[in-house]
């Protein structure tokens, strides 16, 4: 029995093994999908599933995630089985037409759910690669913040955030790339001590703005922030290690998260207690 437990433990550590165990568990649970239940029994089953979801959601780790996904898929499969076997009416003209339309919409929703699970069930969770212990060996960074018609009030937090990053100041150059060629931006850059760069035309839009700046700077690495993005202080320390370890890496992209509350957070006053929609995409899927 111990050897069997060790086998399943080793199998579940890998992605393919975990998916195999999940598929096997779903097959073994198929009687749950097709078992006929009376209304009262179905009610108790729904209450039990809700409580299990509530308890399992408090657990951490991949095992809990797989369990929640499996239970969600089983409940969805049970609902579809009921829809296909007990609810379709093929008499008349409008009943089957509207009924099949609704069924197709529900099938689409379930397929989208399954694809979302495949994308998010096994996050990569890459860890930062340590930088050299001696900061003198750290590379020189050129930080570009391109802007065109955004107001200065939007761009200021991004510039202040870039200047405040934990990196040797003699190895970090922050530039505002102003395609709007505005005097207030030039004065702001001069006042706080960051670079300010313009070009004679707007050819190529944002990409052209960045390409022009690349011809005027000579840093070892380039960091590009949108003018409404505010980096965390540890951004270069969390990312540059990968570039130094593997010279073949040409670009490294990180997820971003929204500082301002989305409509659900703002209107429902949920704050940080409920994960927002952006966290699903930028924190898991991307």
Q: Cβ neighbours of residue 33 under 8 Å, at least 6 residues apart? A: 74, 77, 78, 81
pLDDT at 24: 67
Q: What integer pLDDT is reported at residue 33 of this predicted model?
A: 81
Domain count, the chain: 3
Q: What does the pLDDT read at residue 34?
A: 83
- Indicate whether 141 belongs to any domain: yes
Q: What DSSP string runs through 64-122?
A: HHHHHHHHHHHHHHHHHHHIIIII---SSSHHHHHHHHHHHHHHHHHHHHHHHHHHHSS
- Among all chains, which residue has been given the structure tokens 């008499």? 91
Which residues, other chains included, contact 205 with Cβ-Cβ below 8 Å and sequence gap of 6+? 148, 179
Q: 173 near 140, Cβ under 8 Å? A: yes
Does 130 reside within a domain? no
Could you tell me if 245 and 153 lie in one domain? yes
Q: Are residues 250 and 268 in the same domain?
A: no
pLDDT at position 208: 96
The pLDDT of residue 258 is 77
Residue-level pLDDT at 127:
87
State whether 109 and 183 are in the same domain.
no
Asked if residue 129 belongs to a domain, the reply is: no
- Looking at the fold, whether 62 and 158 belong to one and the same domain comes out as no
pLDDT given for residue 10 in this prediction: 55
Domain identity same for 273 and 215: no
Residue 128 lies in a domain: no
Phi, psi of 190 (to 5 degrees): -65, -35
Residue 138 in 3-state DSSP? coil
One domain for residues 146 and 248:
yes
The pTM of this model reads: 0.72
Whole-angstrom distance, CA of residue 281 vs CA of residue 255: 9
pLDDT at 224: 97
Is 268 within the bounds of a domain?
yes
CATH of the domain at 187: 3.90.550.10
Bridge-partner residues for 224, per DSSP? 144
How far is Cα 99 from Cα 96, in angstroms, rounded to an integer?
5
Residue with tokens 């922030």: 225
Residues 188 and 270 in one domain: no
Say whether both 162 and 72 belong to one domain: no
Total residue length of the chain? 286
Quote the domain boundaries for residue 70. Answer: 2-120
Distance CA 81, CA 77 (A): 6
d(Cα 80, Cα 236) in Å, to the nearest integer? 49
Point out the residues of the chain with pLDDT beneath 70: 1-26, 28, 269-272, 285-286
């Amino acid at each position: 029995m111990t050897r069997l437990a060790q086998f399943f433990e080793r199998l579940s550590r890998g992605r393919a093994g975990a998916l195999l165990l999940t598929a096997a568990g779903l097959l073994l649970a198929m009687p749950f999908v097709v078992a006929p239940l009376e209304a009262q029994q179905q009610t108790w089953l729904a209450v039990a599933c809700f409580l299990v979801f509530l308890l399992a959601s408090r657990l951490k780790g991949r095992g809990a995630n797989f369990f929640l996904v499996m239970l969600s898929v089983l409940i969805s499969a049970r609902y579809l089985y009921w829809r296909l076997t007990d609810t379709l009416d093929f008499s008349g003209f409008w009943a089957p037409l509207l009924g099949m339309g609704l069924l197709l919409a529900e099938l689409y929703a379930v397929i989208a759910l399954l694809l979302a699970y495949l994308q998010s069930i096994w996050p990569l969770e890459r860890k930062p690669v340590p930088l050299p212990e001696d900061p003198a060996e750290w590379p020189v960074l050129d930080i570009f913040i391109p802007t065109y018609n955004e107001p200065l009030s939007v761009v200021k937090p991004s510039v202040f955030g870039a200047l405040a990053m934990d990196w040797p100041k003699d190895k970090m150059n922050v530039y505002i790339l102003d395609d709007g060629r505005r005097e207030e931006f030039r004065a702001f850059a001069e006042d706080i001590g960051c670079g300010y760069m313009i070009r004679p035309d707007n050819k190529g839009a944002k990409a052209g703005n960045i390409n022009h700046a690349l011809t005027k700077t000579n840093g070892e690495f380039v960091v590009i922030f949108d003018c409404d993005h505010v980096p965390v202080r540890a951004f270069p320390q969390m990312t540059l290690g990968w570039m130094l370890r593997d010279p073949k890496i040409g670009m490294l992209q990180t997820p971003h998260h929204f500082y301002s509350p989305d409509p659900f957070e703002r209107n429902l006053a949920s704050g940080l207690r409920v994960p927002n929609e952006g966290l699903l995409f930028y924190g898991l899927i991307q």
